[in-house]
Structure formats: C-alpha cells, structure tokens
Chains A and B, each alone.
Chain A
Amino acid sequence: MHHKGLLYDQIEAFLNGQLAGDARESMLKALAEDPELARELELRRLEFEVSESLIAQRIRDQLRGLRSPESPPPVPGRKFRRLLYWIAAMLSIAAIGVYWRQTHTIPTAPNPVQAPGHTPPVQPDVPASSGPQANQDGTKSERKNTPENKAARRHLALATGLYRRPDLETLRSAAPAANDACDLALAAWEKQDYAAVIAALQNFSDKDPKWMRALTLRAHAQFNLKRFAAASQSFSTIAESKIMPWSEEADWYALLAMLADGKADTAAFLAQLNGVLADPGHPYFEQAKALKGRL
C-alpha cells in the first residue's frame, strides 16, 4: 500500500502538471520504458476523468435546481425571523417534553448513546400484543416487536440508538424520472413516508440494474417502520450479494436489524458480527467492536 501510495502520488503529480524539469523528464523516460507504469498512468487518468465527470454532474444538477421555477422563498424580514425563532424554540421545548415523557414511561429501555449529527433514532415500540410475522416485502402486518425481557429491550434500544438514518440522496439517478420507481421511493424516503417507499418498490424486478439501490431503500424503510425481521432479511440479502459498497453498509445494518429483532443470541447474529470483526478494513469495524463491547 505504501509503495502504491508513492507511485500514485508521483503519477498524480505528473497528470496534474506538477512535475517539472528533471522529475518530469525521468517520468517520461520511465513511461516510455515501462509499459506497466504507462498503463498505471492511463488507469489514473481514467479515474480522474470519471471523477471529473461526477463533479461536472453535480454542477449540472445544482444549476438545474437554480433554473427550476420553484425559486427559493424570499429572505424573511427581521420580525418574521424572530417569530420563526420563537416557534422553533417552542417546538424544541415540546419535543423535549415528549422525549422526557417517553423515557419515563419506558423506564427499562436505556437512553441510547447517540453520535453527534445523528438523526433521531427509531423509538422502541411500547410493549404490545404479538401479531402475525411479516412476509419478505413487508406488505402485510408484521409481528409487533414486543421484547419479553429486559435484555431484549436493551438490545432494541441499543440498535435503534446506533441506527443512523442514512443520507440516500446519493442514490438519486443522474436524470430523475417521474415514473422511475426508485426515484419515487427516494422522494417518499425524503418525506419519511416509509410505507410509500415500500409500496413504490413493491414490483421492482431483481433484474433491474438499480436493484441494489431499491433493496437498500426498502431495507431502511422496513427498519424505520420497525419491521425489523423483514429489514434484517433485506439487509442480509444485500450483504450476501458482496456487491460493494452496498454489502459493507448492509453488514452493519443487518446486525442492527437483528439486534432490534431480539436475535442477538442467535448464531446468525454472531456470525454476522464476527464477519465484520474479522476484517479490520471494514468501514464498520470500529462500530462493530464497540457494539460487541456493549452487548
């Protein structure tokens, strides 16, 4: 990695026109003599071009947004802004009140530690009577998550506390279409209408190139609807596909879904957790380690 890093740095400097004089001359000579190096250079050039096309696309998207007829609302006046601050303050007080009430009505569920910037986690269900188990697509009513014991409740609180509602904006296609199920689901996701996300993806084909996006969206929607069994199944499917980067994200979320579903003691959960812990390069290695410590 170190050697490659050095090579990349030199090639990048060359491609960026930052090599001058002798350094540039020796690079040109090396390129003429070493076909492997020359190919490596072309690979980096291709990577640069791909990256630049992404940057260009972001600019196009932004300008398209600026051109759209829905212009941003006018800047509110000072009085109006003050009123907004007051409303925001009142809402915050109300939210704190609701939160306080909730934490005191479920005394056995510990307050999950939340990383800064994390969106509010899915709140654990108040114990209720059991219902039928959900099918895979989560369209039918699902078993209510009613943890029977203290450990299960703690796991549920831990999982929902660790869950982070991902920013799925990056899943948006380059040219969003009104009839594209994936884009419809994404729009519903942004409105936090999780049932609509699942409904939009109901007939999504696994042959579709956007299948992984759709499955990811559906799995998160299921988690947010507290259909943890279905979410666990969806995340596991993505994780098993080994398609990067979906599978690595799904490794982690499958763990959380299983944890929330009261499956922390199962062999499947342990295998999943150990799988992440076996790979120090896994993006969720540290989180998995911390999770293991808290179980």
Chain B
Amino acid sequence: MAILRYFCLYFTRDNKFQGTSALFSEPIKQPLKNPPGFSDEQITQALLGSLKQREEIFTYLYQSSGWREWVVRHVCREGGDEPAGEDVFQETLILFDRNIREGRFLKGSSLQTYFLGIAKQYWFNRQRKIRPLSMPLEYDPPDTLNPEHLTLQQEWQQMINHILQQIGEHCKKVLELYKLSLSNEEIAREMGLSSPEMAKKYTYRCREKFRAFVLGRKDILEHLDLRLKDAP
C-alpha cells in the first residue's frame, strides 16, 4: 500500500517522473492554471455551448489544466490511490459541469478553486462511505448520508437505469441534448433531422413518450409518490 502510494504521488498517468522535489513539497499548494487561452468565462461558455465545445473543454481540462493531477495527488495524500484519484476527477467534472450549467456557481472564487473544493468534498464523502473518518470541525454532515436516504438513492438510480434501457437510443440522445439547452437547430444537426421544426417535434414526442412510459409503470409512480411524501 505504501509503495502504491509512493508511485501514486510521484508519477502522473503517463508515468513521467515528477522530480524528487515533489517528495518534500506540498502538492496541494502548487500553483494551478487554466488551460492555455481559456479564461474562467471561456470555460463557462464552452460548458454551456455545443457538444463539440463541451468535448473540447473536457479534453483541455483533462489534459492541460493541471486540475486532474492536483485531484489525483490529493486523493493519494488522503489515503487513496491513482485509479481512485482518476475516478474522483471524473465524478468531480460531472458535478462541476452540472453546477455550472444550472447556475449554482456564484462566482465567489475562481473556477479552479471551486472545482478543487468539489473534489475534496467528494473524496471526503466517499471515504466516509468506505470507512468512518474523524470529521473536521467545520464539516456539517449532510442528511444524504443516512442509510435510509442512501437506500432510496440506490433505488432511484436503479429506476433511472431501468428507464434508460427502455426509452430507446434516439430518445435518450434527444433528452440529453434538450437538457443541455441546445437550440432546436443544434438538436436537428446532432440528430441528423431535416429541420429545427422536426427537432422540436421529435423532442416533444420523446418527452411525451418518457412521460407515458413512467405513467404506465406502477412501481415508478409509487416511488415518485414516496418522494412526494418526503418533500418538505
């Protein structure tokens, strides 16, 4: 385990040696930078943009930002290994993307600080699920960690997976594009449809199909009712 951690700390994904100075340095405090040519504003715009823009920015964030290396080092330092670090980076990127799209980032800090904050919190929560840790004083344990909630979450996830299997690939893509707030024109282009009007029609149909599918499933409706009762 110690050897694994050593390698995890001093080698990147590409197995390039990082230098012995890293052995005594505090990796977390190493300066980070946005990808060359990408400001916070540009990253935000790309995440809110087309599929192509999003893919480009994810590639830059993965390969050139230094954020991934930071997350891997943090996870290794806090008892994980490199694959766990990679996984935390991935899940952080998903949460980060969603928060940006849903306007939850209030611009109180730089994007990198925000990203790394999510990563730290994510790893802390995940560690807590694996084995109990002593909590830092400032940590306010979320209600989402109680066993009942976790069971419900798992059921909810299973239900989502089940729905995904049933609604068909085309509708899945339509729902995804719609949720990304792409215009009808962009959806038409992505789906290979003849016009934005067709895309609008197709989106409406898929959403109605989704709705009809759910309404036809007693078990899913029961779960929804359960959520309704739990709602504040």
Contact = CB atoms under 8 A, between A and B. Distances in A.
Contact of B194 (A55, A56, A286): A286
Given A59-B90, A66-B62, A50 B210 contact: yes
B211 A43 contact: yes
Interface string B199-229: 0011011110111001100001100110110
B140 interface: no
Contacts, number: 119
Majority SS at the chain B contact face: helix
Interface string B169-206: 11111011011100000000000111100100110111
Interface string A30-58: 00000100110011011111111111101
A244 B169 CA distance: 10
Contacts of B59: 62, 66
A76 to B, nearest CB: 19
A21 interface: no
A170 B174 CA distance: 11
A16 B202 CA distance: 23
B168 A245 contact: yes
A183 to B, nearest CB: 13
A67 interface: yes
Nearest to A55: B176
A166 B190 CA distance: 12
A20 B95 CA distance: 24
B13 interface: yes
B216 to A, nearest CB: 12
B224 A42 contact: yes
Contacts of A117: 192
A246 interface: yes
Contacts of B207: 8, 47
Given A47-B207, A167-B192, A245 B171 contact: yes
Interface stretch (B3-11, B30-38, B117-125, B159-167): B159-167
B135 interface: no
Given A59-B97, A170-B173, A283-B202, A48 B179 contact: yes
A213 B169 contact: yes
Contacts of B201: 281, 283
Contacts of B193: 283
B169 A171 contact: yes
Nearest to B13: A67
Given A59-B58, A62-B58, A63-B90, A54 B98 contact: no
A63 B167 CA distance: 25
A60 B178 contact: no
Given A17-B103, A164-B192, A213-B169, A51 B97 contact: no
A286 B207 CA distance: 21
Given A63-B93, A117-B192, A283-B202, 19 more contacts: A38-B231, A39-B225, A47-B175, A47-B207, A50-B167, A54-B173, A54-B179, A56-B98, A59-B94, A62-B55, A66-B59, A67-B13, A164-B192, A170-B172, A212-B168, A213-B169, A244-B205, A283-B198, A283-B201
Interface of B: 13, 55, 58-59, 62-63, 86, 90, 93-94, 97-98, 102-103, 156, 159-161, 163-165, 167-173, 175-176, 178-180, 192-195, 198, 201-202, 204-207, 209-211, 214-215, 220-221, 224-225, 227-228, 231
What 7 A-B pairs come out closest when comparing CB atoms?
A51-B179, A245-B170, A54-B176, A170-B169, A42-B224, A56-B94, A51-B175
10 contacts: A16-B103, A42-B227, A46-B160, A49-B156, A50-B163, A55-B179, A166-B192, A213-B169, A243-B168, A281-B201
